[in-house]
Amino acid sequence: MEDKNKVSESNLEKLVATTIAETMKAIMPLLQNQHNTAAAPATSQDVRTAVARAVTGAFDAELKANEAVLRALASAPPESFTMITIPRVYASYFGSTMPAGLNGSIINIPIDNQPHRIHKAFLPIIKACLDYADEKIAFMNKTERNDTRLVDRSYLQQ
């Protein structure tokens, strides 16, 4: 699944795309001198208001969908859950919590060396994030310690 940066980049891409689409839809009548029609905005303030409403509506719809996914996961049978402990050593790579996203719904798992109950669907995502951090640590140990490039996994095979 997606790591922390990919999740935020994906949400940012959606926000930008929605904003551009709504802006163009609202501003085209102004640019074509068709602002005398009842449906067209009269001023740039009207355009900004229409875009803000559309973007907010899209964002609210996505939040409701994500909430529904998380509610469904939370109400799953007890055997669908497991306990996970993330060692504190990972805090320097992820911060005090590690986000794990599933279909756009994100949970934050504390990195405190304590067991936490999570849905099993998040395990592969968490494992992939931790494995990548381990690979990055190994990569940094084989190269200069300040090397922050993405890990070339073939390099680790050497």
Do 48 and 83 lie in a common domain?
no
pLDDT attached to residue 153:
56
> Is the same domain home to 62 and 21?
yes
User: Which residues have CB under 8 Å from 103's CB, separation 6+?
Assistant: 69
Give the pLDDT confidence score for residue 7 in this predicted structure. 45
Task: Assess whether 54 and 87 both reside in one domain.
Answer: no
Question: What local confidence, expressed as pLDDT, does residue 2 receive?
Answer: 42
Final residue of a structural domain among 59, 74, 89: 74
- pLDDT at position 58 is 80
Residues 82 and 152 in one domain: yes
The pTM for the full model equals 0.56
* One domain, residues 95 and 147: yes
Residue 66's domain comprises 4-74
Same domain, 88 and 152: yes
Whether residues 23 and 56 share a domain: the answer is yes
Do 107 and 123 form a contact (C-beta atoms < 8 A)? no
Question: 122 CB contacts (<8 Å, ≥6 apart)?
Answer: 100, 102, 107, 109
Choose among 89, 75, 68, 83: nearest CA to 122. Answer: 83
Which pLDDT value is given to residue 13?
77
pLDDT of residue 102: 82
Q: Let me know whether 130 and 151 are in one domain.
A: yes
Residue 149: the pLDDT is 62
**What is the 3-class SS of the chain, one letter each residue?**
CCCHHHHHHHHHHHHHHHHHHHHHHHHHHHHCCCCCCCCCCCCHHHHHHHHHHHHHHHHHHHHHHHHHHHHHHHCCCHHHEEEEECCHHHHHHHCCEEEEEECCEEEEEECCCCEEEEEHHHHHHHHHHHHHHHHHHHHHHHCCCCCCCCCCHHHHCC
Q: So what's the pLDDT on residue 38? A: 56
Per-residue model confidence (pLDDT) at position 46? 75
Other beta carbons less than 10 A from residue 131's beta carbon: 10
Could you give phi then psi for residue 130, rounded to 5 degrees? -70, -40
Same domain, 82 and 70: no
List the chain pLDDT tens, one digit each, 158 residues: 444 444 456 666 777 788 888 777 777 766 666 545 555 556 777 777 877 888 888 888 888 888 888 888 888 899 999 999 999 988 888 889 998 888 777 889 999 999 999 999 999 999 999 998 888 888 777 776 665 666 555 555 54
How many domains does the structure of the chain reveal?
2
- In a shared domain, residues 40 and 54: yes
The domain boundary, picked from 17, 39, 74, lies at 74
Of 54, 74, 94, the residue that ends a domain is 74
Claim to verify: residue 51 and residue 105 sit in the same structural domain: no
Judgement on whether residues 15 and 68 belong to the same structural domain of the protein? yes
